Amino acid sequence: MEPHWCAVVGICTHSNVVIPTLGRCGRYGGGMQDAWRACSAGNDERDRSRRSHLGSADAPPPPTPASLSLAVRRIAANLDPKRTGLSGAERLELSLQLLPGRLRDVRLAHFHRLISALPEEERDWWIGTLHTLLMPSTERRRLAAHFTPPNLARRVLELAVEAGIDLRTARIIDPCAGGAAFLGTVADALRRSHIDAGNALKRLKGLEIDEHLAELARAILARRLGRNSVPAHVISVGDALSTGMQETFDAVLANPPYGRMLGVPKEKRMRWTHLADLGHVNLYALFVGLALDLLRPGGIAALILPASFLAGPLFGRLRTHIRTHAEIISVHVLDDRNGVFFDVAQDTCVLLLRKGQPGNTLRWGAIAVDGTARTLGTTVLPQDLAAPWPMPLSNLPHSHELAHLSHWGFEVRAGYFVWNREGHRMSKNRASPLDFPLVWAVNVNAGKKVHPAARDGAGVDFVRFEKPSQAILRQRAVIVQRTTNNRQRRRLVAAPIAASVLSRYHGFVTENHTLTLIPTNDGADLKLICQLLGSSSVDAMYRRVAGTASISVRALRELPLPWPEHLRAALEAGLPFEDAVRKAYTMGTRKPHERTPD
């Protein structure tokens, strides 16, 4: 498809390359986003207009995301490799048939018709998505095969260009290039600017560990450049973490695989201690290190990563490595954890780095599902290189005057018992008054009282003490899950211990995957604090300031909360609970008589 032109385009001030821009926020590039959206919208309308004129009068309207999702799931179910024995080569052949002019299998006809009504980059994304859904689940999980949506890929490229990448000359690599999300987006920008495809292919490079994904990526890139094919070396097959590549590049654009590396020998893990703790080596941390190795001095890395590294206690070494070897240009958090990758909920961010002299400030932004961006503010990085990166609260009304758990009458304690280290102290029967029931994290459910129950469902687990201990909790308290997963609706899951537990056992013990909120005065309201921690506003606040599924004592202690007086005043004014929390967050100082709910 030849390039389309419209009256409004964005011209990159660094390179004079025409970049179709996203969004409406002029703070990010002097209006380039408006131009990108106008250009993209114009292209889409022209594509649809052309199809309606060339096709029949009753051509179907553009498909909805729901219809596309349903269609792709049906194909994946019908061709389930567990049942059909579909091989990797057969999976690739089916995916390639979805490119224009190649359809032969009638089972793909409906889906092919749907995606043919889409802009080119969206069509390619759905092709890649189907390819991954046709993988055996174990293979898909091993490869962490989830491709970057076009809106996000365009935004990431725009951020990289704003940071200084000159697309006329830059050598760009994607070390996990399956689906060609980034290389295809770069190719679109180069083609719109009439940069020769041969010139582009000399400067674009991809690596992909899966041979079939690599071939699919080459086919997609070729079409986006207007060619029949691209050389195999442009997107080569190999494990980027072990190729030992010596070349350097002007830019690294990547959405690396996420997930812990399990079963790796200790001697191999020792090579990564500058990036990760020995017991918690995550793939994406290694790709951050690789990105910095692949860059020339002054080069730009734009990476889509889980937000867990921003403040997570297990990522201090990664934060130290980044701050030692690069300037952190910006971090953009993604607004909707459910709207980024197909079939996956993940708290995600875009990290922009410049290799070289570190800095001490960090610019924050946010990106919506449609790719539009907004500014959140700037923070000063802590002197401790391993410390969490604090997100700004400056754009919240009265943010400097918000409360914490201590103002609500609670102190935070970490769970005491580490069962896999002290299993010899556990039993199923209470043989002594110093045997106390163990509360597991799975016993904590929002909206319900906490009752100790064994994880295997058989009775109660007891922990033996030789003498009285401060680890035995003998008062009313709130239990909080310390680690949540991406499928859970809320990061903070809190519930009060049942009064019957105290009356029956005169105490209890919590495991190390929990936190306990201990009342510091008789007026502490356990029910209200549980409701508050489970609210959408507090959930959003926690994700914003902590960015990790692992909840630390410090993060919970320092979590900004509305003042108790303000929340109660909003509730007394008749506001629904979620609205009351939102209102209380805006009321600021601890003077409710100065601000009353609307």
Q: Is residue 269 part of a domain?
A: yes
Query: How is residue 596 written in tokens?
Result: 């009353």
Say how many Å lie between the first and final Cα of the chain, rounded.
55
Shared domain for 33 and 6, answered yes or no, is: yes
Instruction: Report the Cα 414 to chain-centroid distance in Å.
Output: 26
Q: Is residue 209 part of a domain?
A: no
Can you give the pLDDT at residue 213? 94
Tell me if 379 sits within 8 A of 399, measured CB to CB.
Answer: no
* Residue span of the structural domain in which 311 resides: 148-176+240-380
Shared domain for 286 and 341, answered yes or no, is: yes
User: Residue 236: what residue type?
Assistant: S
CATH of the domain at 522: 3.90.220.20
Domain count, the chain: 4
Shared domain for 532 and 466, answered yes or no, is: yes
Shared domain for 312 and 375, answered yes or no, is: yes
Shared domain for 94 and 152, answered yes or no, is: no
Successive 10-residue mean pLDDT values, the chain, 598 residues? 33 41 34 36 40 45 86 91 89 92 90 92 93 87 83 94 94 94 95 91 95 95 94 94 89 90 75 82 91 96 90 87 96 76 77 94 89 88 89 55 92 90 90 95 94 90 94 96 72 94 96 95 95 92 69 85 95 96 82 44
Q: Is residue 67 part of a domain?
A: yes
pTM of the model: 0.70
Shared domain for 99 and 5, answered yes or no, is: no
Q: Is residue 158 part of a domain?
A: yes
Residue 457 backbone zone (phi > 0: left; psi -120 to 50: alpha; other: beta): left
State the Cα–Cα distance between residues 3 and 456, nearest whole angstrom: 61
Q: Is residue 567 part of a domain?
A: no
Q: Is residue 208 part of a domain?
A: no
Can you give the pLDDT at residue 38? 36
Shared domain for 438 and 511, answered yes or no, is: yes
Q: Is residue 449 part of a domain?
A: yes
Shared domain for 293 and 408, answered yes or no, is: no
Tell me if 520 sits within 8 A of 410, measured CB to CB.
Answer: yes
Shared domain for 341 and 307, answered yes or no, is: yes
Shared domain for 411 and 494, answered yes or no, is: yes
Please report, to the nearest 10 degrees, the dihedral formed by the alpha carbons of residues 53, 56, 61, 66 taken in order: -130
Shared domain for 6 and 70, answered yes or no, is: no
Shared domain for 445 and 310, answered yes or no, is: no
State the Cα–Cα distance between residues 181 and 156, nearest whole angstrom: 11
Q: Is residue 429 part of a domain?
A: yes
